[in-house]
Amino acid sequence: MLSRVAQRVYWLARYLERAENTARLLNVFSTLLLDLPRGTKVGWHTLVEITGTDGEFDERNRAADERSVIRFLLSESNGLSILNSLAMARENARTAREIIPAEAFEQINNLYIYGKENAAKGISRGPRHELLHQIICNCQQLTGLLAGTMSHNAAYSFIRIGRNLERADMTTRIVDVGSGSLLPDLTSRTDGDGPASEPYENILWMSVLRSISAYQMYRQHVRDRVNAEDVVMFLLQDGLFPRAVVHCLTAAQSSVEDLPHNENVLRQVALALRHAREAKIPELLDGGLFQYLDELQVQIGAVHIRIAETWFLPTNT
């Protein structure tokens, strides 16, 4: 298949997954406010840091309040906003219409129009949940539509690779939510028995799980209460949960094996997999988790670089 087609369907999958993941993150974070004591200050800037656009956000906004962060991640023109992701997914789908099913392009186009017409409403808490819920559901429907109506050929392999790399990257970022920086006013205070944030640790990690629809599967896998060690191990190293990093990289590896000239890409995927599987999570939670996650994200990013070098057209930089 042509390099330009491979590149477009790869990015189509990444942008759809990015829109869904960002919508999940905003939806769960907004719901988290209902579970915390009235008046608790929430670190909204953490959401921008998770997406890696904090520098761009800080240039445009004086304060990281709820309204500014939601507008930035929902509708503003930046590479990680939901509306921009849907627009890019639509453009890549448009230029690859001869490859993907016609129904898929129609649904992507309708989803973009829906997001554009309703994005402004999502700034307020009231209609936000419905808007984000519709975006999540439509992205999931598109994933199923492509899986069920598209030939599982080289083009579909690139779709699977793009989707799984985006999932793996976002999962590593979402794990950062459990750091406690979400509740700066609690983590900075202590009571007589320890940090004041301890009673809310379960709520925070439950929100982390729910942000990637992992709560029920986690409860089946881990019989103990929700805790940092088990959650991080589950989200990074579980081989069966579709949004765990190890599962995503394994699925990407399987798709890469179906493509020609795959040696360099397979080598990098294997490095990233080893880095995820061999992590000693209990030790990292005592110190070094953030550095480890940064290193893992670099490994995942290197997989993308190898993919671009191997199969995509060179770009001017």
Average pLDDT, rounded, for the chain: 87
Number of Cβ atoms within 10 Å of the Cβ of 37:
8
pLDDT higher at 123 or 236 = 236
The answer to whether residues 249 and 206 touch, using CB atoms and an 8 Å cutoff, is no
- In whole angstroms, what is the distance from residue 30 CA to residue 35 CA? 10
Percentage of the residues of the chain whose pLDDT score is greater than 90: 57
137 Cβ contact list (under 8 Å, min separation 6): none
Average pLDDT of the segment spanning 181-205: 54
- pLDDT of 226 strictly over 90: no
Closest CA to 163 of 144, 178, 135: 144
3-state secondary structure 21-50: HHHHHHHHHHHHHHHCCCCCCCCCHHHHHH
pLDDT higher at 274 or 63 = 274
- pLDDT of 55 strictly over 50: yes
pLDDT tens digits for 151-176? Answer: 999 999 999 999 999 999 999 988 87
Q: How many residues does the chain have?
A: 317
- In whole angstroms, what is the distance from residue 266 CA to residue 271 CA? 9
pLDDT higher at 204 or 193 = 204
pLDDT of residue 185: 46
pLDDT tens digits for 245-282? Answer: 999 999 999 999 999 999 999 999 999 999 999 999 98
Closest CA to 308 of 61, 47, 56, 3: 3
pLDDT of residue 145: 96
- pLDDT of 222 strictly over 90: no
The answer to whether residues 100 and 146 touch, using CB atoms and an 8 Å cutoff, is yes
pTM for the complete prediction? 0.89
pLDDT of residue 42: 64
Q: Is 63 buried (19+), middle (13-18) or exposed (0-12) by CB count in 10 A?
A: exposed
Average pLDDT of the segment spanning 70-79: 85
* 32-41, 106-115, 213-222: range with highest mean pLDDT: 106-115
Q: Is the dihedral of CA 268, 272, 273, 274 positive or negative?
A: positive
